[in-house]
Amino acid sequence: METCKICQHECEQEKDICSNCRELIKKLDFKTFNEERKWIEELFVSRFNNFLLIFSLIVTAGFANNFNNWKSIVFYFGSLLLFFCWLPLIRAYHKYDHGVRILLTTKDFKDERNQIEIMQRLYERRKNNMFKTFTMSKWLAYYIPIACIVFLIAVGLGITFCVIK
């Protein structure tokens, strides 16, 4: 059995989309769904921007204070705070990713095929090349936040062990 491309549940027979998702998609209006996708995309990007803003404030606070005994604690606490700011970002990414999957894997979307045909062609090309797992949204949701959190922990350890002053 294969899994559904949208909800990741097991499909009946050899279908791309399970029957529950297919019924939900039939009820969707394209304009309403596309407006929802745009809103979720803006939510995702704004949460990423907030994440970077908090990261920069923590780095500035860590290096700008004059209390040598507290510098490493600022970075450790900052990495914990950044981790908790990362969780809503991941949740917004999953909502955005599911919306894009619905748009790109559904061939006939209520007679509005021309509006998403270009996106579907790009998606099909990406599926067949060596960069099929590369998406910018995945970088914004996982790789960049993990690098920021690891950076804060590494700087905190560097200050603790007197490598960085």
User: For residue 78, how far is the Cα from the chain centroid?
Assistant: 21
The closest alpha carbon to 109, from 6, 25, 32, 18, belongs to 25
For the chain, 165 residues long, the average pLDDT of each consecutive 10-residue run is 69 67 71 79 94 96 86 94 95 85 63 59 65 76 96 93 80
Please tell me the predicted confidence (pLDDT) of residue 46: 95
pLDDT of res. 87:
95
Task: Report the distance separating Cα 59 and Cα 156, nearest Å.
Answer: 10
The whole-number pLDDT of residue 1 equals: 60
pLDDT of residue 3: 73
Helices (H) then strands (E): counts for the chain? 6, 0
pLDDT value of position 50: 96
The whole-model pTM stands at 0.76
Which DSSP state fits 18? Answer: -
Q: Any idea where the domains of the chain sit in the sequence?
A: 29-160
**C-alpha to C-alpha distances, 123 to 42, 62, 68, 85, nearest whole angstrom:** 21, 42, 51, 30
